[in-house]
């Protein structure tokens, strides 16, 4: 049975596409056949984050129009042959595809791929409806900001109403130092409102932005130091997705006193 | 949940359009798609067709509203509840009727019978294999869901066993009991009391028809705003420790006390 997971958020720019690219890549690295589907018609950028932009020939819209076969539209990743991208059309609006068509497309993908990750557009309109229509599970991404959490809450409600009850929470861009100073919502604050199980906490890290610009998902980096805590957090999400129990990263800001730092050094991190 | 006879009118606005809210129940016509409980069955009321092409009640709009109502109200009826479709003077062809039936099926509801006062719709429904009643259905009091006259007893309480999330508004002409949280952006508007067995972070209104004796209670009271009858109070300062609290009207304003200190014989 393939797992069909939509990555969604409500609010824009919170890291859906970053998560989709990295989780897709990390799952592929673990030997799964993975398809990532860009459901952000008109504003696609999953191809950019994966560095596959220049290899797109056909998109989902041509497949649906019968202008090409599904296989022809799938862009295979050279670095990771287990991963393919089904691109969205850049020049069509979100209304050029219907939820039923999305279901059909994704259903065809389940014949070959064991994980199908759908990158949802922001908002709750047609594009969102398209993205969630085929999904059986959801990863709800939010940043620790009131407006993002409010939108995520709305999304959780809409997912439930659409029969997607298997939803997990990813809190992205947490800044431990700000949380410690009470200037940012904590993981606990966010969890308390959304009340769905937490599957990952990703720290704010400029390595993410660098990797975005390079079109190279963070989890691809060879060295752990290059992946950083954010890369590690993303890899941990994938392990949790697969049922492993992985402790959450210790993101407390570096304390000033030497002893505390020493203690943290010796604590087994993930 | 056994609130068949007292389904709330529930709206969730999935577009930010302010007209999402139903203007009023008193109008002669229902301006939007509505689901309404009556005597253990569910009525699906379609808005009348308007002549102007720009009218909001086009077929696509009807489909969208229906989907939305079903999504929003899913928790308020049990699966396999029969639905009676009130098309009134709206013209529907077989394909459209089938679409409605399919949409209901997706929501685990069953289209039981089609009521219409248009011959064509009745014929189309019969041809499509639905059971049909062609008559203005006065006994179902579709068009006159007037607010209860003065002094009328409230309908039975509505139990909601889930989190009321952002974007959801629950209106009920009686008391509302939430077994869960009411999140910021969610709201409860009750003609009776509002009891939240959880944290109230959104908006709650008790005695919405004007009854100042109504109460708002929550295990944790940190609302965006509370209203009782015509009184409004904003969120109280967050206390160091949360305790069950009760909000009530006294001496011309809303007061909040710990539930343990709230005495039934408070001065009114
Ligand atoms: N953990 C992080 N640390 C630092 N920057 C991040 C992090 N996560 C995401 N970003 C940055 O935030 C920006 C938006 O990310 P992304 O495109 O993944 O969001 P999105 O939710 O897909 O946006 P949209 O709603 O527009 O589709 C990008 O520039 C990305 O590099
Ligand atoms: Mg995106």
Indicate the residue of A150, A158, A195 with minimum beta-carbon distance to B71: A158
Determine the average pLDDT of the residues in B237-262. Answer: 84
**Interchain CB contact of B169 with A (< 8 Å):** no
A129-138, A158-167, A246-255, B237-246: which is most confident: A129-138
Reduced to 3 states (helix: H, G, I; strand: E, B; else coil), residue B245 is: strand
Ligand 1 midpoint to CA A44 (Å)? 13
Reduced to 3 states (helix: H, G, I; strand: E, B; else coil), residue B242 is: coil
Q: Count Cβ–Cβ pairs < 8 Å, chain A vs chain B.
A: 41
**Interchain CB contact of A150 with B (< 8 Å):** yes
pLDDT digit string (tens) for A6-37?
999 999 999 999 999 999 999 999 999 999 99
Give the confidence band of B202 by pLDDT, cuts at 50, 70, 90: very high
- What pLDDT sits at residue A51? 92
Contacts 24+ apart (CB under 8 A), B61-67: B62/B33, B63/B99, B63/B103, B65/B32, B65/B33, B66/B33, B66/B100, B66/B103, B67/B103
- Chain centre to alpha carbon of residue B88: 21
Pairing of strands B155-160, B174-178: parallel
Summarize the annotated binding site of A for ATP as residue ranges. Answer: 11-18
Within 10 angstroms of residue A270's Cβ, the number of other Cβ atoms is 13
* Ligand 1 atom with minimal separation from the A172 CA: 1
C-alpha span between A242 and A238 (Å, rounded): 6
Q: Is the CB of A204 under 6 A from ligand 1?
A: yes
Which residues is A212 bridged to in the sheet? none
pTM score, whole prediction: 0.70
Contact A88, A73 (CB under 8 A): no
- B14 vs chain A: nearest CA distance in angstroms? 7
**Interchain CB contact of B134 with A (< 8 Å):** no
Ligand 2 midpoint to CA A59 (Å)? 17
**Nearest Cα to A194, choosing from A150, A247, A138, A135?**
A150
Does residue B170 or residue A186 have the better pLDDT?
A186
**Protein residues placing their CB within 5 Å of the ion ligand 2:** A 16-17
**Interchain CB contact of A151 with B (< 8 Å):** yes
Q: Does the pLDDT value for residue A202 go beyond 70?
A: yes
What b/e string do you get for A182-213 counting C-beta neighbours within 10 Å, with b at 16 or more?
eebbbbeebbebbbbebbbbbbbbebbeebbe
**Residue whose structure tokens are 């990750």:** A117
CA dist B56 → A129, A217, B31, B60, B65 (Å): 21, 45, 9, 9, 11
Q: Does the pLDDT value for residue B51 go beyond 70?
A: no
Indicate the residue of A125, A150, A192 with minimum beta-carbon distance to B166: A150
pLDDT digit string (tens) for B61-86?
788 778 777 765 545 667 778 899 99
Reduced to 3 states (helix: H, G, I; strand: E, B; else coil), residue B212 is: coil
Give the confidence band of B183 by pLDDT, cuts at 50, 70, 90: very high
How close are the terminal C-alpha atoms of chain A, in Å? 29
Interchain proximity B185–A150, CB inside 8 Å: yes
**∠A176-B235-B24 over CA atoms, to 5°?**
120
Does residue B152 or residue B23 have the better pLDDT?
B152
Determine the average pLDDT of the residues in A221-238. Answer: 94
Q: Is the CB of A15 under 6 A from ligand 1?
A: yes
What b/e string do you get for A138-171 counting C-beta neighbours within 10 Å, with b at 16 or more?
bbbbbbbeeebbbbbbbbbbbbbbbebeebbbbb
Q: Is the CB of A173 under 6 A from ligand 1?
A: yes
């Amino acid at each position: 049975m393939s797992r069909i997971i939509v990555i969604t958020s409500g609010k824009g720019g919170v890291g859906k596409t970053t998560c989709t690219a990295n989780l897709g890549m990390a799952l592929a690295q673990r030997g799964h056949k993975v398809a990532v589907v860009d459901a952000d018609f008109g504003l696609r950028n999953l191809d950019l984050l994966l560095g596959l932009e220049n290899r797109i020939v056909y998109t989902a819209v041509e497949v649906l129009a019968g202008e090409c076969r599904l296989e022809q539209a799938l862009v295979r990743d050279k670095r990771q042959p287990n991963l393919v991208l089904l691109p969205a059309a850049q020049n069509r609006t979100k209304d050029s595809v219907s939820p039923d068509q999305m279901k059909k497309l994704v259903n065809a993908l389940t014949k070959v791929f064991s994980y199908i990750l759908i990158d949802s557009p922001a908002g709750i309109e047609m594009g969102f409806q398209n993205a969630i229509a085929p999904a059986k599970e959801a990863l709800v991404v939010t940043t620790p900001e009131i407006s993002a959490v409010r939108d995520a809450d709305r999304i959780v409600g809409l997912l439930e109403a659409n029969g997607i009850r298997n939803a997990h929470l990813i809190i992205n861009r947490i800044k431990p130092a700000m949380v410690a100073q009470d200037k940012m919502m904590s993981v606990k604050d966010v969890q308390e409102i959304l009340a769905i199980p937490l599957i990952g906490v990703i720290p704010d890290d400029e390595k993410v932005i660098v990797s975005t610009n390079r079109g190279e998902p963070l989890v691809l980096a060879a060295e752990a130091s290059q992946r950083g805590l954010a890369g590690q957090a993303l890899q941990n999400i994938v392990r949790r997705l697969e049922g492993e129990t992985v402790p959450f990263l210790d993101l407390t800001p570096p304390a000033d006193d030497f002893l505390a730092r020493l203690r943290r050094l010796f604590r087994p991190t993930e | 949940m056994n609130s068949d006879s007292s389904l709330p009118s529930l709206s969730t606005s999935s577009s930010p359009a302010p007209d999402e809210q139903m203007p009023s129940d008193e109008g002669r016509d229902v301006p939007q798609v509505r689901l309404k409980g009556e005597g253990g069955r569910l009525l699906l009321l379609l808005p009348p067709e308007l002549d102007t092409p720009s009218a909001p009640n086009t077929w696509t709009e009807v489909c969208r509203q229906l989907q939305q109502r079903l999504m929003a109200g899913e928790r308020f009826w049990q699966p396999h509840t029969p639905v009676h479709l009130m098309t009134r003077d709206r013209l529907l062809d077989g394909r459209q009727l089938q679409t409605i039936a399919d949409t209901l099926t997706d929501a685990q509801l069953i289209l039981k019978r089609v009521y219409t006062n248009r011959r064509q719709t009745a014929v189309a429904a019969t041809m499509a294999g639905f059971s049909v009643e062609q008559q203005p259905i006065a006994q179902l009091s579709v068009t006159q869901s007037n607010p209860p006259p003065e002094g009328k007893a409230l309908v039975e309480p509505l139990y909601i066993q889930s989190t009321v999330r952002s974007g959801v508004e629950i209106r009920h002409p009686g008391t509302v009991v939430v077994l869960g949280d009411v999140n910021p952006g969610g709201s409860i508007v009750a003609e009776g009391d509002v009891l939240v067995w959880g944290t109230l972070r959104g908006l709650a209104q008790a005695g919405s028809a004007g009854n100042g004796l109504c109460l708002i209670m929550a295990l944790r009271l940190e609302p965006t705003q509370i209203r009782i009858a015509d009184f409004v109070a904003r969120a109280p300062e967050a206390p160091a420790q949360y305790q069950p609290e009760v909000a009530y009207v006294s001496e011309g304003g809303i007061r909040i006390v710990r539930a343990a200190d709230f005495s039934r014989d408070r001065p009114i």
